[in-house]
Amino acid sequence: MIFRHYQKKHLWPLAFLLPTIIGLLVFRLIPIFWSFALSFMDWQIFDTATFAGLDNYIYIFQSVTTLQILRVTFLFMLMYVPGAVLLALALAVILNSGLRGAAFFRGAFFLPYITSTVAVVLVWRWIFSTRFGLLNNALDYIGIEQNPAWLADPAYALPAVAIVSIWKDAGFYMLLLLAGLQTINNEYYEAARVDGATRWRRFIDITVPLLSRSLFFVLIIAMIRSTQTFEITYSLTEGGPNGATTTLAFAIYQRAFVDFDMGLAAALSYVLCVILGFLTLVQFWLRRRWVHE
Amino acid sequence: MKVSLTSISILALSASIATAETTISYMSWSPDQLELEMPVIAEFEAANPGVTVEVQAMPPSDYWPKLSALAAAGDLPDVFMMSSGFVDSWGLAGNLADLAPLAEGTDLGAYFEGSLTPGMVNGTMVAFPQNWVAPVLYYNKDMFDAAGLDYPDADMTWDEFRAAAKALTTEDVFGYWVYGRYAHVDTWVYRNGGRYLTDDKSGIELNAAAVNTLQFLSDLIAVDNVAPQPQEMEGIRQQDVFPLGMAAMWVDGSWNIDNVRNVADPSMNWGIAQVPMGPDATADTAAAYAWADMLSVSETSENKDLAWDFIQTLVGGERSAADFPGGKVPAYRAIAESDEWLERGSQPANKELILEIGAQTVYSGFSENWSTWRGYGAEGQAGLNGELDEVFNGRKSLDDAIAAFTAYGNEVLAR
């Protein structure tokens, strides 16, 4: 009787949870722990793995490329996060203002997010082409004849990757912020309007505080996504020119799937993990100062 | 009852025969090439009753990760394609079977000697060539004729080359198109007796001839103005610049013969020549640059002899010249020297020039982790490529680029 009760209360739910638990174990937890162990090994995937202690981490901190990779990663984050979030916020506010055809524009702005990255990049490659590109031709048209080599000049390649990434992802963040905007009671705006508040004051004093939780969430995921960017870099610049767009995520790919140096790739992953963890903690600490609870 | 027992015996015998069948697994990085190989694979199966060949092919971007994963799982195919650039890493890791004992009785003289070299790791033959390629100097005959210049030949000096490039450069056309990848640069370096690596391949140390070569190529862009900066051509496939008539000369691999045929206007007359020998080269140091697409047998294969027989089917005299289009040279000499492969009626008219290159002393410059320090595949923007791009695009001095590349390359080789 007791067993039957136990079975009903615990075993059945467990049975239903089992597929998820197994999936979590096999595809998440075991790889997390295994990759951590791997970061202390010297393992070229087609060779035998040997224990290497801290060698991989020491190599990373001594490597001539590490500083450049970290610099690129943070620079990209600095371009992408504010760019994507501000653009998404602007689009969300405009679409929430009762614009005619809002549903159409909402779909149009979201479209890049669900479009195949390879297809998108093919078009952007043409836009950025030095000699035949749409962008440089447009610059020519307005009298700027010193055409940048968008994808071949280290000074422009990272901004080019950031532009494409922002363009592609802003629609997704816009939807999240739009959902947040629609939860704000319109009476606040009406009351402020009666009090004579300008459009800008209403945005600063009502929209931003009441949207701050959504903004916080969007900032966190934009920051994480900025460190995970890969497909666009891979197909637009292959990490070049001369490492100018090689972020930490791209370097992990190169070490793991080009050099097949799994130990080093795992160690780099944990460096990324620590950086992300630190930045997220900072965000959570800052949250108390600006997020309206 | 007696009949039933007989039937059971026959069934049991059939089952035992079925289990005695042997399967050879073969993995290729070229679905197109596999298509061409299917007839000889069928012939191999017919000649070896009970043997089945399991084939799979995928593009290189998928091939290497998959092959590596199979190696990690101890489940490599019996036979698989091996790149000259990766053979050191794979051979030193012990994944590739020693082919010398298997090749006893095989007439190695039937193959181009230079094509066998890249398959040797520490004196052991771990990969066998199927076909090979070599960079050549492509030139536009119409433009040479219009400028009243002689066509390039093996005796052309670098000064004569520079003078020709200057004479060929007009407002619309560049005399030369330099692109900083291995096929475009390293052949100049080796033809000048240059080396990037130390003799034991354990470190990067450019000799004076290599530095002079890179300076020469850089000067063609920055000083002589006969070649565009690579960044100016961003947006055009590098292999299309010459066939589109935007440059009068260009160095790239012989495999691009097909591309030139396809992209160039049919009325365009063009040819190929050897890359001119450099002023620093001596008889001891000058080398041709060529490398092979190879086949290896897995060290863990249980059917090594059969795997070797299979390799011989793929590389030997049973293949047709049509299986090696354009500038892909069959490693088997008799096919390469046949009129069918030389394609007398097509451009270029002198395909035997590629065979002459293969007959010279070949230096491939490959080492462990070559793709990382040289810049190849998904690391094509890194290593020496990345630094040379900076030099050719006028943003970095050659000395600084060499210093940066040497530090990076030595770090990679020390891993």
Q: Report the Cα–Cα distance between both ends of chain A, in Å, rounded.
A: 48
Calpha distance B65→B119 (Å, rounded): 21
Contact B81, B315 (CB under 8 A): no
Number of inter-chain CB pairs under 8 A, A vs B? 115
Q: Please say if the pLDDT value at position A261 is more than 70.
A: yes
Query: Is B380 an 8 Å CB contact of chain A?
Result: yes
Task: Output the pLDDT for position B20.
Answer: 57
Task: Output the pLDDT for position B17.
Answer: 44
If we measure between CA atoms, which residue out of B68, B123, B88 comes closest to residue B369? B88
Collect all residues from A whose CB is shorter than 8 A from any CB in B: 44-48, 59, 63-65, 125-126, 128-133, 149-154, 234, 237-243, 246, 253-254, 257-261, 264
If we measure between CA atoms, which residue out of A125, A119, A168 comes closest to residue A150? A125
Residue B386: closest C-alpha in chain A: A242
Length of chain A: 293
pLDDT tens per residue, range B239-277: 999 999 999 999 999 999 999 999 999 999 999 999 999
pLDDT tens per residue, range B7-65: 555 544 444 444 458 999 999 999 988 999 999 999 999 999 999 999 999 988 789 88
DSSP calls for A154-183: HHHHHHHHHHHHHHHHHHHHHHHHHHHHTT
Calpha distance B197→B207 (Å, rounded): 9
In chain B, how long is the greatest CA-to-CA distance? 97
Interval B377-398 mean pLDDT: 90
Which helix (H) or strand (E) segment is B33 a member of?
helix B31-47
Calpha distance B288→B188 (Å, rounded): 9
Calpha distance B82→B61 (Å, rounded): 14
Calculate the CA dihedral of residues B118, B75, B304, B324 and round it to 10 degrees: -50
A247: left (phi over 0), alpha (psi -120 to 50) or beta: beta
Lowest mean pLDDT among A88-97, A192-201, A217-226, B368-377: B368-377
Query: Do B395 and A259 lie within an 8 Å CB cutoff?
Result: no
Task: Output the pLDDT for position B4.
Answer: 52
- ipTM, 2 decimals? 0.79
Query: Could you tell me what percent of chain A has a pLDDT over 90?
Result: 72
Calpha distance B365→B374 (Å, rounded): 10
Task: Output the pLDDT for position B7.
Answer: 52
Interval A33-59 mean pLDDT: 91
Helices (H), chain A: 2-6, 12-24, 30-38, 55-62, 66-95, 102-114, 117-128, 134-141, 154-181, 186-194, 199-202, 208-228, 231-236, 248-257, 262-290
Task: Please name the residues between 82 and 141 in chain B that touch chain A, using a CB distance below 8 Å.
Answer: 89-90, 93-95
Give me the amino acid identity at A139: L
**Minimal Cα–Cα distance from A277 to chain B, Å?**
29
Interval B215-244 mean pLDDT: 94
pLDDT tens per residue, range B119-160: 999 899 999 999 999 999 999 999 999 999 999 998 999 999
Q: Please say if the pLDDT value at position B196 is more than 50.
A: yes
Task: Output the pLDDT for position B368.
Answer: 84
Query: Is B379 an 8 Å CB contact of chain A?
Result: yes
Of B90, B382, B407, the CB nearest to A243: B382
Of B94, B378, B395, the CB nearest to A254: B378
Contacting residues of B for A260, CB less than 8 Å apart: 64-65, 68
Which helix (H) or strand (E) segment is B304 a member of?
helix B304-315
Task: Output the pLDDT for position B147.
Answer: 96
